[in-house]
C-alpha cells in the first residue's frame, strides 16, 4: 500500500503535543472516546503511535447506548482491540428507560455525562470528530438559518459544563478527513464498525452527509466549508469580545440579576443586543442552549417598549433607567431539604456548620416577602426578591442572601461571573 502513515502520525503527534503545551496543568488522564467507527478507531491507533513523552495516563471509553441490536458486541470489539494495544478500556451503559424528547440530543448529553463521571478529575476527553463532521454540522446549521455562532460549528478545544463542572474536550482530528482515518485503519489492518443508522435517511445528518459530495461537484468541498467555519469562529470571538466590552462599560450583576443601562443598551448594534440578552437568559436560568432567536428579538422589542417580558425561566423589565433580567420565581427549583453546601437553583450555595434538621431551602415567594423588613423590601425590586432563596423552618424565615450577613446560615452566589461566561458560551 502506497501510504505514508508516518506523515499522518507526525502531523497528529505535533497537534497533541502543541495542545498539551498550552495547558497550565498536568491532566489526570486522557480519555479517548471510541465507538468502534472508523473515526474514533483511527483516533485510537494514532494515539497508540503518539510517543506520550510525559507518560500521561490514557483511558479508552466506549458508551453503549443500547439503542440497537449488536451495540454490546461493538463495545466488546473495541475492548479487545484496546487489550492488544495495552490500553485500559471501560464500557459505559446508558440507562434510558425514562427518556423523553429528542433522541440524538439526549444520547449526546448522556454520553458526555457518563464519560466525565468515569474519568478522574482534571482529565481531558478526546473525540474523533473529523473534517467531515465539521462540514456536515455546518450544512445542518446553515439549513436552519443559523447566524455566526451556529456556523462557527466545532472548535478543537472546548469546555463542556456538566453538573456545574467543566470538562475539557479536545478534537484533534478536525483537520483530517474521514477517509484519512480509514486509510490509517487499512494500513494497520484493522476493521471498523459501520453503524447501520449511518444509512438511515430519517436522520438529518445522514441526508446532509450525502449532500456533501454534491456540493463538492460545485467546488464547495469539505475543506472550503471547514475554512468558512473557522472564519465564523473568528467572527464569533470578536463579537463576544465586543459584547464583553459593552457589559463592562454599562452592565453589572446585582442581587443575582443582570442589569444594563437602558440608554447605552439602546444604542448598540442589534447583534450585540442579541448576544447580551441571549447570554443573560442562558446564564440566569441555566439553559443548556441559547434561547431561540425569535424569543430574543421579542424580548428586545419589549425592552424598547418598556414592557415586562417573561421567557426561558427569566423575567426582563425596565426599572428606572435600567434593564433588569432576573430569575422567574415559577421556574426556580422547588423546596429542597437544607444541607451544608447544597446549591439551590444552580445559583446559590448554602454554607453553615450548624444543625439544619427540619430546615428547607426554597424561593422566598410572596409569603417570604411579607416576612422581610419594609426597608429591605424597598431596597430590592419585588420581581427579584421573590425569586431569591430563603432558608425556612416551617413557615418561618431563618435567613436569605441579603438579610443577615453575620448569620450562621449564609447564602453565597456561586455562578461563573457573567463576563467570563460571555466569552465561553
pLDDT above 90 coverage of the chain, percent: 72
User: What is the tens place of the pLDDT at every residue in 292-305?
Assistant: 899 999 999 999 99
Its sign, for the CA torsion 15, 17, 19, 21, is: negative
User: What is the tens place of the pLDDT at every residue in 302-350?
Assistant: 999 999 999 999 999 999 999 999 999 999 988 999 999 999 998 999 9
Q: Say what the pTM is.
A: 0.83
CA nearest neighbour of 424 among 268, 245, 241: 241
What is d(CA 27, CA 6) in angstroms, rounded to the nearest whole number? 26
Pairing verdict, β 322-327 and 257-261: antiparallel
User: What is the tens place of the pLDDT at every residue in 87-123?
Assistant: 999 999 988 766 666 777 788 888 999 999 999 999 9
User: What is the tens place of the pLDDT at every residue in 124-164?
Assistant: 999 999 999 999 999 999 988 888 998 998 899 988 877 76
What is d(CA 277, CA 289) in angstroms, rounded to the nearest whole number? 13
pLDDT at residue 88 in the model? 98
Domain boundaries, the chain: 5-230, 255-329, 334-418
Contact 41, 85 (CB under 8 A): no
What is d(CA 177, CA 183) in angstroms, rounded to the nearest whole number? 10
Least confident of 21-25, 128-132, 197-201, 402-406: 197-201
CATH of 255-329, one of 1.20.59, 1.20.120, 1.10.3470, 1.10.10: 1.20.59
Q: Which CATH class is domain 5-230?
A: alpha beta
What is d(CA 382, CA 423) in angstroms, rounded to the nearest whole number? 31
Q: 420 — alpha (psi -120 to 50), left (phi > 0) or beta?
A: alpha
Amino acid at each position: 500500500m502506497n501510504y505514508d502513515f508516518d506523515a499522518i502520525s507526525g502531523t497528529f503527534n505535533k497537534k497533541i503535543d502543541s495542545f498539551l503545551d498550552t495547558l497550565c496543568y498536568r491532566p489526570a488522564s486522557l480519555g479517548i472516546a471510541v465507538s468502534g467507527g472508523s473515526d474514533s478507531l483511527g483516533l485510537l491507533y494514532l494515539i497508540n503511535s503518539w510517543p506520550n513523552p510525559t507518560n500521561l495516563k490514557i483511558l479508552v471509553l466506549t458508551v453503549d447506548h443500547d439503542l440497537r441490536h449488536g451495540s454490546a458486541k461493538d463495545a466488546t470489539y473495541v475492548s479487545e482491540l484496546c487489550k492488544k494495544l495495552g490500553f485500559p478500556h471501560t464500557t459505559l451503559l446508558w440507562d434510558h428507560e425514562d427518556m423523553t424528547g429528542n433522541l440524538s440530543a439526549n444520547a449526546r448529553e448522556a454520553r458526555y455525562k457518563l464519560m466525565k463521571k468515569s474519568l478522574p478529575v482534571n482529565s481531558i476527553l478526546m473525540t474523533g470528530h473529523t473534517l467531515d463532521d465539521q462540514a456536515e454540522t455546518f450544512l445542518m446549521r446553515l439549513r436552519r438559518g443559523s447566524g455566526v455562532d451556529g456556523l462557527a460549528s466545532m472548535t478543537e478545544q472546548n469546555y463542556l459544563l456538566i453538573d456545574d463542572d467543566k470538562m475539557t474536550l479536545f478534537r484533534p482530528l478536525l483537520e483530517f478527513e474521514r477517509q484519512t482515518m480509514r486509510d490509517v485503519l487499512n494500513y494497520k489492518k484493522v476493521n471498523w464498525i459501520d453503524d447501520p443508522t449511518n444509512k438511515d435517511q430519517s436522520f438529518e445528518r445522514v441526508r446532509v452527509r450525502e449532500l456533501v459530495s454534491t456540493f463538492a461537484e460545485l467546488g464547495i468541498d469539505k475543506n472550503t466549508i471547514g475554512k468558512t467555519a473557522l472564519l465564523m469562529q473568528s467572527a464569533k470571538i470578536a463579537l463576544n469580545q465586543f459584547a464583553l466590552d459593552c457589559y463592562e462599560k454599562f452592565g453589572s450583576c446585582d442581587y443575582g440579576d443582570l442589569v444594563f443601562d437602558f440608554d447605552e443598551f439602546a444604542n448598540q448594534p442589534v447583534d450585540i443586543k442579541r448576544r447580551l440578552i441571549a447570554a443573560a437568559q442562558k446564564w440566569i436560568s441555566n439553559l443548556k442552549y441559547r434561547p431561540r432567536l425569535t424569543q430574543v428579538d421579542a424580548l428586545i422589542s419589549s425592552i424598547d417598549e418598556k414592557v415586562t417580558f417573561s421567557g426561558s425561566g427569566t423575567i426582563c423589565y425596565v426599572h428606572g433607567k435600567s434593564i433588569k433580567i432576573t430569575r422567574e420565581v415559577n421556574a426556580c427549583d422547588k423546596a429542597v431539604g437544607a444541607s451544608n453546601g447544597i446549591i439551590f437553583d444552580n445559583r446559590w450555595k448554602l454554607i453553615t456548620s450548624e444543625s439544619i434538621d427540619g430546615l428547607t431551602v426554597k424561593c422566598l415567594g410572596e409569603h417570604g416577602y411579607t416576612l422581610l423588613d419594609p426597608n429591605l423590601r424597598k431596597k430590592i425590586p419585588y420581581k427579584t426578591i421573590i425569586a431569591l432563596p430563603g432558608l425556612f423552618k416551617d413557615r418561618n424565615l431563618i435567613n436569605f442572601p441579603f438579610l443577615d450577613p453575620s448569620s450562621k446560615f449564609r447564602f453565597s452566589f456561586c455562578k461563573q461571573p457573567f463576563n467570563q461566561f460571555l466569552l465561553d458560551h
